[in-house]
Amino acid sequence: MSMEIRGPLELPARREDIELRTADDLTLVGELSLPETAEPLATLVTLHPLPTAGGFMDSHILRKAAARLPALAGLAVLRFNTRGTSSPRGTSDGAFDGGASERLDVAAAMEFVRERALPRPWLLGWSFGTELALKYGREHDVEGVILLSPPLHRATDDEVAAWAGDGRKVVVLVPELDDYLRPDEARERFSAIPHAELIAVEGGKHLWVGESQTRCVLTEIVAAVNPAALPLPTEWPPA
């Protein structure tokens, strides 16, 4: 008997609590989710929303990506709490630094990816996480970045424009009703990256609340990383 894939439903996967070690000697807590039996086809390194506004590794889109995409799309999903951030998994060492020292957190996650030989890494940032991806993603061996609800508060115009000379993919999902950056302004701000793919999501909001918005976001993530897995099943096991 199949069941509808929605809400907190967790599909089969190999899940492992992990720790990341930063260059300034902090321990960050996280989780790695892998396909249950096969090797992953690509890897999502997720960067969560602003911790001072409640963002953490369990922010719902990232949690649902880890719950669904190893089974539905053959992806590895790495989630972790940046410095000073707490979740049911635990609290990472250190203190929130407004996106500055978090550069070392991104580097620690990418070092873990290298150590585990996880394939085809992408940075998947949401809100504050998009700032980290834009500011520091070019330093690492990633296929591209996927930006959900980018506020562009901390990433400077120069940091955005620097991606223009970089051949890696930049996929930007902008909610029509975002609290910070809506599609028209986003097109102007990201015009500095000619190859950026900007997707305006009709009816979307910054927090992507609701199953229809969740499915839209996960579909666009998979379209960028492993389009052969589309369309994503809506029932488990798939028909």
**Interval 152-181 mean pLDDT:** 97
37: CB partners within 8 A, 6+ apart: none
User: Which residues face 76 on adjacent strands?
Assistant: 43
Instruction: Spell out the domain ranges in the chain.
Output: 3-236
**Interval 149-154 mean pLDDT:** 97
Percentage of the chain beyond pLDDT 70 is 100
Distance CA 132, CA 129 (A): 5
**Residue-level pLDDT at 156:** 96
| Chain center to CA of 97 | 20
CATH of domain 3-236: 3.40.50.1820
Residue 227's Cβ-count burial label (10 Å; 0-12, 13-18, 19+) is exposed
Percentage of the chain beyond pLDDT 90 is 98
158: CB partners within 8 A, 6+ apart: none
pLDDT of 153 above 90: yes
**Residue-level pLDDT at 195:** 97
180-192 per-position pLDDT tens digit:
999 999 999 999 9
pLDDT of 56 above 90: yes
**Residue-level pLDDT at 1:** 82
91-109 per-position pLDDT tens digit:
999 999 999 999 999 999 9
Cβ–Cβ under 8 Å, residues 16 and 61: no
Rg for the chain, CA atoms, rounded: 17
